[in-house]
Structure 1
Amino acid sequence: MQNGNHPVRTQEIRVASEVGSLKRLLIHSPDRGLGKVVPSKAQDWLFEDIVHLETMRKDEYDFYVKILLYFLDPDKIRGKLAWISTDPERNFFKPDHPDYFQSDAVIDLQYLLTDILKDEVIRTRLISGICAVERCRFHIQNQLYGYDPVELSKILISGSLPDRTMLFAPLPNLIFTRDIGIVINSHILLNKPAKLARTREAFLAQYIFFYHPLFSKYRDKIIEIPDNEHHFLLPDNEVSNDYSRTTLEGGDVMMVAKNHLLIGCSERTTLYAAQQVIRLLFDKNVVDKVTIVKIPKKRDYMHIDTIFTQVKRNMWVLLGSLGRVGDEAKKRDLLHFLAPKDVPEALRIIQFTKGAEHKPVEIENLEDLLTSISRDDLGCSEPVQFIYSGNNEFPFGAREQWTDSCNLLALKDGVVIGYDRNDKTLEAFRQAGFETVRAADLLERFERGEADPETIENTFIMLPSAELSRARGGSHCMSLPLLRAEL
């Protein structure tokens, strides 16, 4: 990967927890395609709303990137923040800009795509494949060969030419890099998106993971999920059901301990895909234990990381209505009585352990599962704590879960980044002994030497989120960790 003379070479890849200190990750900063989402296609492209691109870039995502750099690659950022948090002229740079941060630890997918497109053979194959997927005219295919790798990468992601002509749909969901793949110990699981709108993302991800030098030592450890062997012979009504369809997205996969993987079965991930992953991981001796967390198939939830994420070894944030406290919450929820037919199906949790002698075990509730992970898998002797979305107050639990109160990225054990708009959840964090601090204020503290990423602890970093939250994904969704320190 290069920007000027800055290659990113093969690096160690290993993730064995959700809260070990983050050392390297993949992101994708908002591209021009996000500014092309129109109301009539928003839901087809998996957006609930249209967003204001420049606000998202400069006033929100820019803080996310700078916080990541301060924790993962501080030499790239320390002493270089000439702006004050309210400076309207602050610049936001994409990977093709000469002032881009060029980090080996915070890596943009567009950067990697540009690099592999410098190879003529890969370039030809990728253009041909995408034009086939997008059903482009042969004239368009020939036109794309004329662009340099930098511009071509932007076209393939955004779907539009430099003159703003749209060739095909944008990929507005690519900012949620978690969904394209997941690192499981030293293996890479490539995911299979459920929705047509994300097909091109998966295609680009295949080429990046198999062809970029960053992953060259791990090509024999890339796992692809097989389709039903005879899927092309199945009737249409069977192809679309959970027992034959292979779809899985990274928001439904959590590497919670070196021996233990969670897989959510959700609106986006099927039971058949989960079954295939369990078989592959056990055959390759990647993990010893896989727990299936089956959640209601509702757009409200989408993936398991929208209903819970880990904060520190002994602490989790989750949606109370799907946990042990859910029954009590439902008693206070008038909708539970007024429309009982619409109450979602119950959450189910089944744990599989490698070995013929082990039978699947059903776990009663989410808190029991998370307590077991902290206590048994991570060896935590402290009491396990839960922070509930909206502080478990009606109607704030559901409201704030919708704006990603449970979708947090742990930068290290006990230091998380999430959205600033979930007031009741933030109140619950403060009650649990956490400091809540605006990203801009923390960056200024770092610059003045008043705080240090190495020593900071028990902190919730609040990311501006008016536009980002409208895209329906939080900081956990916007990250694909490649390397975490061992706990």
Structure 2
Amino acid sequence: MSDTTPSVRSEVGVLRTVLLHRPGTEVERITPTNMDQLLFDELLWVEHAQLEHDAFADVLRKLDVEVLYLEELLTEVVTDEAVARDVVQRHVTDRSCGPQAVGRVRELLLGNEPRQLVEHLIGGVTVEEVGRGDGLVTTVSGQSEMLLEPLPNAVFMRDSSAWIGEGVVLSPMNRLVRRRETDLLRTVYTRHPRFADSPIWFGGEVTDWFPATFEGGDLLVVGDRGLAIGMSERTTPAGVETLATKLFDAGAVDRILAVDLPKVRAAMHLDTIVTQVDVDAFITYPTMTSNLTAYAVTPRPGGGVHVAEHASFLQGLAWAAGLDHARAIEPALGSIRAEREQWNDANNTLAVQPGVVVAYERNVATNEILDTAGIEVHTIPSYELPRGRGGPRCMSCPVLREPLPA
């Protein structure tokens, strides 16, 4: 195995390579009219969000992390005209823009250089960019309406894919507006030479509909052979069981802690209320984690899974991580401040090595509590990015971490 071969066997091993997406045109296309549909609560000042994202990448590089960008990898892949054509045909269909516009939208995309093609695949296509022509869709639509929807949530790279061991899982996303994100990652992982020898544990096939869904923000690689997966508003029990069966059959992991989360936006994914910050330590939001029900999921002889309720969430995390015990760092904040900081992703930290994390600078109290607990915190600017409801962990997909010492 080369020193760039993907492998992630923990949440806190020394981070060597990470995949990001710098926000761009797709975020500029969020409006008061479509922001609910695109899963945003607020409009972002795009240029400032880009500066903050650049600062995030700079902090990672200063910590000796290689930063890959989705848009750059995808551009390299679609320089192959056959790959470009296949991607465009999957993403631009009769159902997305109407039978009479589909040919013109495809022609627009394939007539661009690879970089502009990728910008459209992520940023979308408007009626104005194609022209009205014939057909009902373009006739009744305004000039700024989208014939190919933008993907502003692509900045949250953790959701669409997650590396587990030496392979990757591609998420069958819960929300329709995010499903094209997964296919773009599938294209990169199956076509880019950097990932040529990496198995896809789940999601290698192209399909239109997954009644069972899961998203990477609910998946924590807490130990060499164990995971914690949240059952949230975005990840279904059927999705967890389907993924668990695939991973067990592949021999990728031995045990999974399935955590039943409140089905509320403030706990959208497991990593919004708990992340791992050291080999044996997790920062948690006790208002939500103190009464969670968790289940130990293990392979059943002959196939399938065995499920047993676990004594407590924290003990379950220790079990999944292969530890005798785990410690919880629980911010003892007043209820108002705790709720504010959790909403601003105070718990959504990205570990770059054991006991060293990246966090939003705006969550002052939580960062001080981490520091007091012996965790080294590197902060990044956070005026605009938190408006998207995701923190440093949400915005990053670790591709390579060094294994933890035995």
TM-score, normalised by the number of residues in structure 1: 0.74
Which position in structure 2 is the counterpart of 1:113? 74
Q: Give 1 or 2: higher strand fraction.
A: 2
1:402-441 to 2 correspondence within 5 Å?
402-433=343-374
Letter in 2 for 1:351: A
Structure 1 pair 40–69 and aligned structure 2 pair: CA distance change class (3 A): same
The reply on whether 1:276 has 2:221 as its aligned counterpart is: no
> RMSD between aligned alpha carbons?
2.5
Which position in structure 2 is the counterpart of 1:145? 110
Which position in structure 1 is the counterpart of 2:220? 254
Which among 22, 30, 36 is matched to residue 43 of structure 1? 36
Contact preservation (8 Å) 2:97, 2:148:
no
Give percent identity, aligned residues only. 31
Letter in 2 for 1:484: R
Contact preservation (8 Å) 1:322, 1:366:
no
In structure 1, how many angstroms separate the alpha carbons of the residues matched to 2:117 and 2:316? Answer: 46
1:56-107 CA deviation, whole Å, 9 max, x = no partner? 112x11210101111235xxxxxxxxxxxxxxxxxxxxxxxxxxxxxxx210
Shift, 1:225, TM fit: 8.0
Which position in structure 2 is the counterpart of 1:302? 268
Contact preservation (8 Å) 1:388, 1:397:
no
In structure 2, how many angstroms separate the alpha carbons of the residues matched to 1:199 and 1:373? Answer: 29
Contact preservation (8 Å) 1:225, 1:246:
no
Which among 275, 293, 303 is matched to residue 348 of structure 1? 293
Query: Relative to structure 2, which stretch is displaced further, 304-313 or 164-173?
Result: 164-173
TM-score, normalised by the number of residues in structure 2: 0.88
In structure 1, how many angstroms separate the alpha carbons of the residues matched to 2:78 and 2:24? Answer: 18
Letter in 1 for 2:158: R
SS at match of 2:63: helix
In structure 1, how many angstroms separate the alpha carbons of the residues matched to 2:364 and 2:63? Answer: 25
Contact preservation (8 Å) 1:187, 1:223:
no
Shift, 1:431, TM fit: 2.9
SS at match of 2:112: coil
Which among 7, 24, 27 is matched to residue 34 of structure 1? 27
Shift, 1:169, TM fit: 2.2
Contact preservation (8 Å) 2:228, 2:320:
no
In structure 1, runs of 5+ residues without a counterpart are 1-8, 74-104, 233-243, 325-345, 434-457
In structure 1, how many angstroms separate the alpha carbons of the residues matched to 2:245 and 2:275? Answer: 25
1:165-180 to 2 correspondence within 5 Å?
167-180=147-160
In structure 1, how many angstroms separate the alpha carbons of the residues matched to 2:371 and 2:228? Answer: 28
In structure 2, how many angstroms separate the alpha carbons of the residues matched to 1:373 and 1:281? Answer: 14
Larger Rg: 1
In structure 1, how many angstroms separate the alpha carbons of the residues matched to 2:333 and 2:313? Answer: 15
SS at match of 1:25: strand
Which position in structure 1 is the counterpart of 2:400? 483
In structure 2, how many angstroms separate the alpha carbons of the residues matched to 1:19 and 1:185? Answer: 13
Shift, 1:141, TM fit: 1.3
Paired residues in the alignment total 381
In structure 2, how many angstroms separate the alpha carbons of the residues matched to 1:480 and 1:281? Answer: 19
Shift, 1:364, TM fit: 3.1
Which position in structure 2 is the counterpart of 1:401? 342
Which position in structure 1 is the counterpart of 2:136? none
In structure 2, runs of 5+ residues without a counterpart are 130-143
In structure 1, how many angstroms separate the alpha carbons of the residues matched to 2:104 and 2:206? Answer: 33
Which among 58, 61, 66 is matched to residue 69 of structure 1? 61
Which among 174, 185, 198 is matched to residue 205 of structure 1? 185
SS at match of 2:169: strand
SS at match of 2:13: coil
